[in-house]
Amino acid sequence: MNAGNRSSNHHKLYLLSTMWTLGLLFLGSIVHATGSSLACPDWPTCYGTMFPEMTGGIFWEHLHRLVAGGLILVFIVATWVGWEPAKTRPALRTWSCIGIILLLIQSVFGGLTVILKLPDAISTTHLALAFLFLSLVTVLTAATSPARMAQRDMRPLSTIKMLGVLSATLIFLQSVLGGVVRHTGAGLVCPDVPLCFGEWIPPLETVSVMIHFSHRLLGVLVLISLVILAYKSLKVRHYPLIRILALTAAGLGIFQVVLGFISVYSLLAIIPVSLHTLIAAALQCCTVYLSTLAWQERMDVVSID
């Protein structure tokens, strides 16, 4: 296998890892929405075996574990395949190794959520680590893409860089805050939407109301940042991929708000709640990928293939 093929396979395996992580986050949301988080009371086995009867909540919980294990294997293979091609770009090797460590820590926190019976802090940290790894593997996917942007005048991207990083950061914080809402049972504290108890600013007298309202407020800030990013991208004519990613993120942001409304109106039905997590993850991918492309000249990954 020549270096070019190994490099191409390296990118494909990172892309597979990114898509796998998206699927894992979606599956994890289904586990929680169906009340299956403790269907297997032990860890890493399920009722003392790695091959339990896959029925009811056990199906979702154990499938989630199996898919998580598969992601670790795929990412390790991606790191191994790309080790030689990345010898001139040591940062890729470093971040790949960090990604493996992050996945192992994530697995430990997954076990702790079961062993300690779903403590809020551990469960939320488990979700935060998942989004953190998703960001890392998305950067690696963009940085190893054979379709990277050719070198042009990068000055028009200065605003895109700032807005992309800002949007990605806000989305990460919003996703973690969404995890707090989910794991503290604050999802239906405000029974109406877009108002809360019939008011735009509800009485912030309890922690649960403050958490829920903060999630809504941060969601508005995320949407504003995505719309501005999409508007600014229309002026970046020489980088169509960046424009496509920004416009896609804005569209997904609007859809995400609609899903938030539906989640409340449906009393946290499985499908809208699970899709809400998936779209949040997809938004993270779009903005992180976009930001990586916009910062490529500083990361020394711009080339003309």
- Parent domain of 12: 1-146
pLDDT score for 149: 56
Domain co-membership, 140 together with 41: yes
Domain co-membership, 21 together with 86: yes
End residue of a domain, out of 112, 146, 180: 146
Domain co-membership, 294 together with 155: yes
Domain co-membership, 156 together with 298: yes
pLDDT score for 301: 38
Domain co-membership, 165 together with 296: yes
pLDDT score for 302: 36
Render pLDDT for 85-133 as a digit per residue (tens, 0 to 9).
888 889 999 999 999 999 999 999 999 999 999 999 999 999 999 999 9
Query: Do residues 143 and 293 make contact, with C-beta atoms less than 8 angstroms apart?
Result: no
pLDDT score for 296: 64
End residue of a domain, out of 146, 180, 214: 146
Q: What angle do CA 256, 17, 50 make, to 5 degrees?
A: 100
Beta bridge partners of 199: 196
pLDDT score for 298: 47
Domain co-membership, 238 together with 288: yes
pLDDT score for 156: 64
Domain count along the chain? 2
Tally of residues, the chain = 305
pLDDT score for 146: 75
Q: Which residues of the chain have pLDDT under 50?
A: 1-4, 297-305
End residue of a domain, out of 146, 167, 183: 146
